Structure 1
Amino acid sequence: MIFIIACSTSSTLYEKGESGYEGPALFKEKVVIRHAKGFTIDYHKNFKLVKIMSPFEKATDTMSFVLLQRGTPKPAGYQNAQIIQIPIQSLVPMSSMHIGLVGYLSAEHIVTGMGNLTYVSSEKIRARIKSGDIKEVGKDQGLNEELLIAMHPDLVMTIGSPVSKINRYQSLKQAGIPVMINSEWIETTPLARAEWVKLMAALLNRESEVNTKFSESEKEYARLVKLAKSSKTQPSLVSGMNSKDAWFVPSGSGYVSRFFRDAGARYHWADTKATGSLPLNFEAVYPVALNADFWLNVGILGVKSKRELLDKDQRYADFKAFKAGNIFTHNKRQAANGANDYWESGAVNPHVVLADLIKILHPELLPGHTLFYYQKLE
């Protein structure tokens, strides 16, 4: 589902939403969504109306949020929308994936709680955890609702999924704590995923900053795509590894496959239309992997060497990429606690991930680039 972004300048919208505010328009800088399909932002005089697609809720397709400038009256006509006072001053992200959004705007200071404090890569967030400024609030059935209500953050940001639906947080909403689903992970292109930083910027009134920074990321990403297309070669690759009788390969419509295409690679499953991962058996992947020039994203199971790969399955030694030493993982920035910065800052810096992939596949195109998220498996 695609939402159309429209300018909120009609008299009907002003009568509906801004009748209680007579001051000047407060938001000079606005964001325009060019890639993401999961949310929209419409600007009014003293508030912003955010709509977020909720793909796992049967009762409704979207959730509405009124981002209300502090100290101004609530607009009329949005009874079903949650009210969020902006700029937010305290945030409880329920996933470390959201840390990347906060870090992109250097706003780690607003994080006051997290669902789980173990798997965090950001040094600034870890420092706040160590000092006691960030509390662990649990998640799903283990959610510490009493602690959250006592903390009363400006916003709890969670991830929607079939097993963790928004109705899990009804008690928080009843306590006046807004709960927002952030579903950037359902986006199908790297830039669309990264563009959710504009939602974070809207919550912080940092539109001007995010417009400048994200525009630079877009331009660099486009430059790299053009550079990759200039290569005379298009090496083949395979991704992931076998686990518990299933090898999950990226589907053709997902963001990982888009990375491969933009980096100038040939990917066997590029034309599959599913957006998630494809669960295949080893025998289905084996003939493809046997002749693939590169083998990427191997470290998902904590594998750190080629020897550990063979401990998993001796047949890996048959792969062309194994013999040539062309095996790469995206865990170069993985901390001792298992947290991987690829899933934090990597999600909002797709141009850096793309540069890594081009360096791996076409090293002659980026001779001065040093791998940032990826590393070779020795």
Structure 2
Amino acid sequence: MRKHGAVTTLVLFACIGILFVSMDVGALRCMAGEDPPVEGALPVPSQEKVGLRYACGFTVEHQDTFKKIQVLSPWRDARVSFTYILVERGKRGPSVPPDSMVVEIPLQRVALVSTTQVPFFAMLGLESSIAGIARGRFVNSPPVAERIRQGLIQEIGVGDSGMVRNLNMERLFALQPDAVIVYGINDPEYHLQPKLAEAGFPVIVEASYMEPTPLGRAEWIKFVAAFFNRESYADRIFEDIARRYEFLAEQTRERVIHRPAVFHGMAHRNVWFMPGGESYAARLYADAGGDYIWKDDSSRGNMPLSMESVVERARDADYWVDVGPCGSLAELKGSDERYGLFRAFRQGNVYNNDAKIGPGGGNDYWETGVARPDLVLADLVSIFHPSILPSHERIWYRKLPDQGVMRP
């Protein structure tokens, strides 16, 4: 009986491995942008209704002659929302209140201010609709990066590092995009929506980063798709990602007996910004079979903690993940000797999400990884519970070596 149970377990784990390896051949090429569908080859009814399962930051309502999209939480503690009325080109739209914006769809030319918005366009086969982008050198998506190299996508950012605070308005005026897609942020220095709107550009605020769950963030592909009449296609892509994520999370939950203790990040000027227990990162670690040390906290954002408090609570944790710019254990300890107090450090169980850095220095974890939480989850499961995915080749996570900065 015991032998039969062991065989069943091995077969199950083999099936899980096949699920996350076989998709790399065909589905990943299409879904992650390596071999996207030809534009125009996917006739999608513009009014096809597609529901939301995980995303809570936006809503979509389908009326007879238009779609209504509301962005509910554009940034943390926001007291405003944004409403878009999507009307088919050449058709008369409804009367709208002054706080709503009418958008003619499908959009044909857009400008993006964040590389995290790129994978949805690649997955939907909409690369040619991108006319401009800020920080284009950081883009990793092959078809989009190639169009940037060919000059088909123009650089609209000013400056080359940090968050985008200014755009090349002259170039934007020359590009004449149908819309500029920005992220919302509660900081006048970086909040681009008012500046662009004042200049006369139609502005769409995308707030996927506010989602507290990995699948909720990935489901914003449907937000992008609505502006291009590709909801049905987006739904198929998302459901496949969700199915893979849910399956692996369920199998991990059922099979794992011991959950290793996990903590996240590193200190900056003696302040450690630790993700709350209801955050995006906390959900990933839990679904991957980890015991996130701050899981009992109820916040979705980051908590500012002292180095001393983190050492006291995480000293004996099994794993330490996402250590920012550090490329090795020596580099990590060199930035602060107290990091050597953590057992995860002493045992070499420190992992960073920088295994896939593009030629321009962009970290693909914050590009493709955001849109493919199923693959991020597989990376983490293979770290916390390697027996579940013994053949998985990690995409974004790598174990920090003792010496040297060994980024690919």
Q: TM-score, normalised by structure 2?
A: 0.81
Q: 1:157 is paired with a residue of what secondary structure?
A: strand
Contact kept, 8 Å, 1:27 with 1:43, in 2: the verdict is no
Cross-structure match for 2:271 = 246
Match status 1:170 vs 2:180: no
Cross-structure match for 2:155 = 136
Cross-structure match for 2:64 = 45
Cross-structure match for 1:289 = 314
Give the deviation of 1:227 after TM superposition.
1.4
Give the deviation of 1:214 after TM superposition.
0.8
One of 303, 327, 331 as aligned partner of 2:354: 331
Match status 1:232 vs 2:257: yes
Cross-structure match for 1:322 = 345
Contact kept, 8 Å, 1:194 with 1:349, in 2: the verdict is yes
Give the deviation of 1:73 after TM superposition.
1.8
Contact kept, 8 Å, 1:254 with 1:276, in 2: the verdict is yes
Contact kept, 8 Å, 2:156 with 2:167, in 1: the verdict is yes
Match status 1:199 vs 2:206: no
Give the deviation of 1:54 after TM superposition.
4.5
Cross-structure match for 1:348 = 371
Contact kept, 8 Å, 1:104 with 1:348, in 2: the verdict is no
Write the deviation string for residues 84-129 of structure 1: whole angstroms up to 9, x where unpaired. Answer: 2222111111111111221221322211111222322222222212
Q: Which amino acid is the alignment partner of residue 48 of structure 1?
A: K
Give the deviation of 1:55 after TM superposition.
4.3
Count the aligned residue pairs: 349
Q: Which amino acid is the alignment partner of residue 169 of structure 1?
A: L
Contact kept, 8 Å, 2:84 with 2:101, in 1: the verdict is yes
Cross-structure match for 1:3 = none
Cross-structure match for 1:306 = 329
CA RMSD, Structure 1 to Structure 2 (Å):
2.1
User: Residues of 2 paired with 1:142 and 1:250: CA distance?
Assistant: 29
User: Residues of 2 paired with 1:316 and 1:80: CA distance?
Assistant: 50
User: Residues of 2 paired with 1:295 and 1:321: CA distance?
Assistant: 6
User: Residues of 2 paired with 1:339 and 1:312: CA distance?
Assistant: 23
User: In structure 2, do the counterparts of structure 1 residues 357 and 56 end up closer, same or farther at CA, with 3 Å as the change threshold?
Assistant: closer
User: In structure 2, do the counterparts of structure 1 residues 261 and 26 end up closer, same or farther at CA, with 3 Å as the change threshold?
Assistant: closer
Cross-structure match for 2:29 = none
Q: Which amino acid is the alignment partner of residue 353 of structure 1?
A: V
Q: 2:136 is paired with a residue of what secondary structure?
A: coil
Contact kept, 8 Å, 2:76 with 2:210, in 1: the verdict is no
Give the deviation of 1:150 after TM superposition.
2.5
User: Residues of 2 paired with 1:312 and 1:77: CA distance?
Assistant: 55
User: Residues of 1 paired with 2:76 and 2:306: CA distance?
Assistant: 31
Give the deviation of 1:58 after TM superposition.
9.4
Contact kept, 8 Å, 2:73 with 2:210, in 1: the verdict is no
Counterparts of 1:1-378 in structure 2 under 5 Å? 27-56=46-75, 61-138=80-157, 142-163=166-187, 164-165=190-191, 166-172=193-199, 174=200, 177-229=201-253, 230-298=255-323, 300=324, 302-378=325-401
Q: 2:87 is paired with a residue of what secondary structure?
A: strand
Q: What runs of 5+ residues in structure 2 fail to find an aligned partner?
A: 1-43, 159-163, 402-408
User: Residues of 1 paired with 2:395 and 2:389: CA distance?
Assistant: 13
Cross-structure match for 2:3 = none
User: Residues of 1 paired with 2:215 and 2:77: CA distance?
Assistant: 28
Give the deviation of 1:234 after TM superposition.
0.5
User: Residues of 2 paired with 1:42 and 1:112: CA distance?
Assistant: 28
Contact kept, 8 Å, 1:238 with 1:288, in 2: the verdict is no
Contact kept, 8 Å, 1:108 with 1:125, in 2: the verdict is yes
Contact kept, 8 Å, 2:45 with 2:229, in 1: the verdict is no
User: Residues of 2 paired with 1:224 and 1:55: CA distance?
Assistant: 31
